[in-house]
Structure 1
Amino acid sequence: MSLGFESTQSVAIIGGGPGGYEAALAAAQLGAEVTLVERAGVGGSAVITDVVPSKTLIATADAAVAIAGASDLGVQLFAKDGTGKPLKPEIAINLAAVNKRVLRLARQQSEDMREALVEAGVRILSGHGRLDGNRTVVVSTDAGGTDFDRVEADTIVVSVGAAPRELPSAQPDGERILTWTQLYDMTSLPEHLIVVGSGVTGAEFASAYMNLGAKVTLVSSRDQVLPGEDADAAAVLERVFLRGGMTLLSKSRADRVERTKDGVLVTLGDGRTVEGSHCLMAVGSIPNTRGIGLEDAGVQLNESGHIRVNRVARTSVPNIYAAGDCTTFMPLASVASMQGRTAMFHALGDTVIPIERRRIAANIFTAPEVATIGWQEKDIESGLINGTVHKLPLAANARAKMMGITDGFVKIIARQESSTVIGGVVVGPRASELIYPIAIAVERRLSVDQASRVFTVFPSLSGSIQDALRAMHLVDAAAR
């Protein structure tokens, strides 16, 4: 259905992940003739092997933690033996059943997205797409690469995503040495999972498998988990990891990972070795931009192979746009989606609001979750911006006490002169939900006073956001 005007343009999209999917919907809504090329399935790796599966697994881990911690709230689970004597049952994880559910939900999400595109009038081609100049997409529609379709288009969107980075000294075999796309083939919980890499992916899976009951060792080449993130957030997460029994090896670079008779052997840069049953390699990703004709079409890439784009997702070629993890923008599914829509609004003449990095909310789905928006405390410490910070522990919140929450905090960052909210951090359960009011304050340039005047429910975790904002008013008043 068109949104008020008809476009006579044609749009071809390579890649049906979040960026390509949203671009296709937006273009169809604006009346364009849209063709989407996708080789793995609508939703791309984000839905089929990455975001949807991993967060489904994490939801299961969260449920296991909730059950295990229920006794702290007075909920006790017992079974009875033949004599009527109560027994305390153990929590068991059926990983085969968990992974079966994970993959089923991923397939269902992919099918739902496909149906939405078909309903919107998008033509979907299954195959591998590449550019032939700046107005033609060639689609290989068979496994042998002998059958082709050619799609002529006024505007092209490249949204081909990224794949796990593989190291020559730690080649994945899909059985013991794994990438995050291969975890869902496991039928039983790993006895000892070694996670190499403490960025977002490594931290999320280390947290999930620890909470599912596996022994976990996290190997980090940096001095903290989640390097580059808020230091206080990383400290909370490390404390939770250690309390849960995880082994943290900081400043420890993995030089080599080898398959042994019944497990893996990880050799560190200083000569130490770690033995485990499985190893997850979480050492970043590489864009899927090779061999699809970008350079020949004049599209500029950086040294890592990512496509250079501006704030409306436009590349160096005026009628070619790019979205998602294959670009130089932030590798988040939400960002890919926004890039896809923004690209189509710009190309087809609709109202465009360029994407601003400082207004992008991000979340790390560990337990507890870590959510951020805008400028951070380290930016103030480094002198990039003149601001003030207030941090409030969640443990002081009445609702948190009721729920048994002891870890986490709310941190608000405001501009020193105007008290405008310019950033924030939330560490706690469902931080991905709690960051939203702070994101609104950042987007709408609200002052701490304006944001604090919005009513919150008592008791609620969001009340801690209001309390932190109110405390900053008092600090500001004292300064005046």
Structure 2
Amino acid sequence: MTHVVIIGGGPGGYEAALVAARLGAQVTVVERDGLGGSTVLTDCVPSKTLIATSDLLTEVESSAELGVEVPRDVRADLAAVNDRVMKLALAQSADIAGRLEREGIEFVKGSARLVSAGSVEVDGRTIQADAVLVATGAHPRVSPDALPDGERILTWEQVYALREIPDHMIVVGSGVTGAEFASAYNGLDARVTLVSSRDRVLPGEDEDAAELIEDVFTERGMTVMGQSRMASVRRDGDQVVVTLTDGREVDGSHCLLALGSIPNTADLGLEEAGVVLDENGFVRVDRVSRTSVPGIYAAGDCTGVLMLASVAAQQGRIAMAHLLGDAVHPLDLQKVSSNIFTSPEIATVGLSQRKIDEAGLHVDVVMLPLATNARAKMQGVRHGFVKLFSRRGMGVVVGGVVVGPRASELIHAVSLAVSASLTVDQVADAFTVYPSLSGSVAEAARSLHPR
């Protein structure tokens, strides 16, 4: 029986463990913080739980448009919200522990260090292995000029200790994490300033989607400071002061740092074992999750391939399938779907406009505003669109963007089309419910019928 040791109990680790066990391997998972990793305990699950409350309040604010009167002083109890956040995170972690136990997977709580491809040391105990999967994740990047104190200057892992809604939350960083938290606290009725070093929020995302979300942010009272790079953040009593590189200062009650992530690869013995890291400390892997050392695989945020829980899980599954001789489909980043949980949400899959332009592909594109959709009108939805990309002359769907409420659900139809290389006619011919927001996906496909 093959013995696999998995270092890290996040999505890349526990999903790999389940696959390995089902394929007949003996599996040991080593995790120092708790099963589910940062995804479940401090990152994805907590943040999306917080956002769920924010989204509800945002819907309540627009209820008058639907003929519903609600008291003007409806507010969230942030202490209760954050208590619920952490309770749900721990419950999800316990569910994962139960799944692993039912599959006969050994769980060892502790800090692991790689000795070799066949040996892992956990707090002085040596575990022999036939193969090792490294799935140690990443942690928030901080700056020497903006050190978090856990009270007023915060990383995204520390915000759940807050007991009251901030008077003025300054969010530094306008990538996915920054945009999501800025949207969440704006929905919770905090005053929010978003400091962006680029000329627009979400600089790596679809341009139309990013422009729309910035317009929504501004419409809802958020201050968006473009081309404004942080120089430092300091605490001044019950206030924080964010100093920009041009000398301007922004005063607030709290500051959330969303400056990116650093891989958890230090002090693991990786380089001593021969595992190649890139200049930023990420583990280099191929499309089946192999590192430079035979028998050592890696998955998830520690690889920097694409920092999504779904990609981490898929990398872990692929690694175990490759190791244990099952059918393997190498990771294809051109078919990955992702979602940004702002309000409205931004979901994407497949090729983006930027990648299409860089590759010089000939595509047809259509963008339909949700405002023309009958169900959207009924629900009072004003912001959003469906955009599809198809290969010119062939009609094969190669990518798409959905902006709107529950875009994370709506994108699945487009994801299936991209994954299966369906044509726009095949997407359009599939029945949709009337009225429904998904009808706009079919309508967009119908508009791209090859001529």
The TM-score, its normalising length taken from structure 1, stands at 0.93
Does structure 1 residue 351 correspond to structure 2 residue 335? no
Match of 1:23 in 2: 16
The counterpart of 1:314, out of the listed 290, 293, 310, is 290
Equivalent residue for 2:112? 129
- What SS does structure 2 have at the residue aligned with 1:157? strand
Contact kept, 8 Å, 1:27 with 1:344, in 2: the verdict is: yes
Specify the SS of the correspondent of 1:132. strand
Q: Which runs of 4+ in 1 moved over 6 A?
A: none
Deviation of 1:107 (Å):
0.3
Equivalent positions of 1:395-410 (< 5 A) are 395-410=371-386
Equivalent of residue 100 in structure 1, options 57, 80, 83: 83
Q: Does 1:450 align with 2:443?
A: no
Please, which of 225, 241, 251 is the counterpart of residue 249 of structure 1? Answer: 225
Distance between the aligned counterparts of 2:62 and 2:428, measured in 1? 33
Offset at residue 382 of structure 1 (A): 4.0
The residue that corresponds to 1:387 in the other structure is 363
Instruction: Write the letter of the residue equivalent to 1:200.
Output: V
Aligned to 1:209: 185
Give yes or no for the alignment of 1:323 onto 2:299: yes
Aligned to 2:401: 425
Distance apart, 1:93 and its partner CA: 1.4
Shift of 1:376: 1.5
Deviations along 1:140-162, whole A, 9 cap, x unmatched? 1xxxxxxx221111110000000
| The one of 384, 389, 394 aligned to 1:413 | 389
Q: CA deviation at 1:40?
A: 0.4
Asked whether the equivalents of residues 17 and 45 of structure 1 are also in contact (C-alpha less than 8 Å), the reply is yes
Which of 54, 67, 77 does residue 74 from structure 1 map onto?
67
1:138 shift after superposition: 0.4
Deviation at 1:379, TM superposition (A): 2.9
Aligned pairs for 1:149-188 (under 5 A) are 149-188=125-164
- What is the CA–CA distance in structure 1 between the aligned matches of 2:357 and 2:98, rounded to whole Å? 49
Deviations 1:10-64 (A, max 9, x none): 0000000000000111111111100000000000010000000000000000111
Report the Cα offset of residue 381 of structure 1: 3.7
Pick from 62, 73, 76 the counterpart of residue 90 of structure 1: 73
Question: Residue 263 of structure 1 aligns with which residue?
Answer: 239
In structure 1, C-alpha distance between the alignment counterparts of 2:308 and 2:56, rounded to whole Å: 25
**TM-score (normalised: structure 2):** 0.99
User: 2:48 matched to which residue of 1?
Assistant: 55
Q: Deviations over 1:419-459 (max 9, x none)?
A: 11000000000111111111111111111111111111111
Paired residue type of 2:196: S
SS at match of 1:336: helix
Letter in 2 for 1:199: G
Quick check: which has more Rg, 1 or 2?
A: 1
- Residues 313-346 of structure 1 deviation map (CA, whole Å, 9 limit, x = unaligned): 1111121111110003100000001111111011
Q: 2:92 aligns with which of 109, 116, 132?
A: 109
* 2-structure distance, mates of 1:371, 1:314: 29
1-structure distance, mates of 2:156, 2:283 = 24
Looking at structure 2, the residues matched to 192 and 372 of structure 1 have their Cα atoms a distance apart, in angstroms, of: 31
Q: Which residue of 1 aligns with 2:314?
A: 338
Paired residue for 1:37, among 7, 23, 30? Answer: 30
Contact 2:153 2:257 in 1 (8 A): yes
* Residues in 1 aligned to 2:53 and 2:236: alpha-carbon distance in whole angstroms: 30
**Contact 1:375 1:422 survives alignment (8 Å):** yes
Shift of 1:89: 4.5
Q: Which residue of 2 aligns with 1:370?
A: 346
Match of 1:120 in 2: 103
> What is the DSSP-based 3-state SS (H/G/I as helix, E as strand, rest coil) of the residue aligned with 2:273?
coil
| Distance (Å, rounded) in 1 between the aligned partners of 2:423 and 2:238 | 59
On the 8 A contact 1:377/1:389 being kept in 2, the answer is no
Q: CA deviation at 1:384?
A: 3.1
SS at match of 1:442: helix
1:287-317 deviations in whole A, cap 9, x for unaligned?
Answer: 0000100001111110000001111111111
Q: Partner of 2:386: helix, strand, or coil?
A: strand
Distance 1:402 1:329, change over 3 A: same
Letter in 2 for 1:246: M
Taking only the aligned residue pairs, the percentage that are identical comes to 56
**Match of residue 269 from structure 2:** 293
Structure-2 separation of matches of 1:208 and 1:159:
29
Q: Distance in 2 between matches of 1:389 and 1:176?
A: 45
Q: Structure 1 residue 375: deviation in Å? A: 1.0
**CA offset at residue 416 of structure 1?**
1.3
Cα distance, 1:75 vs. partner? 1.1
Q: Distance in 2 between matches of 1:382 and 1:21?
A: 36
- Classify the secondary structure of the residue corresponding to 2:139: strand
CA contact (8 A) 2:375 2:437 kept: yes
Q: Which residue of the partner structure matches residue 471 of structure 1?
A: 447
| Alpha-carbon separation, structure 1, partners of 2:337 and 2:294 | 28
Q: Deviations over 1:61-113 (max 9, x none)?
A: 01111222111101113xxxxxxxxxx44112110000000000000000010
Q: Secondary structure at the match of 1:91?
A: coil
Indicate conservation of the 8 Å contact 1:309/1:328, yes or no: no
Instruction: Evaluate the alpha carbon distance shift between residue 380 and residue 338 of structure 1 in structure 2; reply closer, same or farther with a 3 A threshold.
Output: closer
CA distance in 2: counterparts of 1:271 and 1:357, whole angstroms: 41
Structure 2: gaps (5+ residues): none
Q: How far is the alpha carbon of 1:122 from its aligned partner?
A: 0.4
Question: What amino acid is aligned across from residue 387 of structure 1 in structure 2?
Answer: V
In the alignment, which residue of structure 2 is the partner of 1:64? 57
What is the identity, as a one-letter code, of the residue corresponding to 1:411?
A: K
RMSD: 0.9
Separation in structure 2 between the aligned mates of residue 34 and residue 131 of structure 1, nearest angstrom: 16
Q: Distance in 2 between matches of 1:252 and 1:315?
A: 39
Q: CA deviation at 1:380?
A: 3.4
Which one-letter code corresponds to 2:293 in the other structure?
A: V
Deviations 1:394-426 (A, max 9, x none): 001000000000000000001113111000000
**Distance in 1 of aligned mates of 2:356 and 2:346:** 20
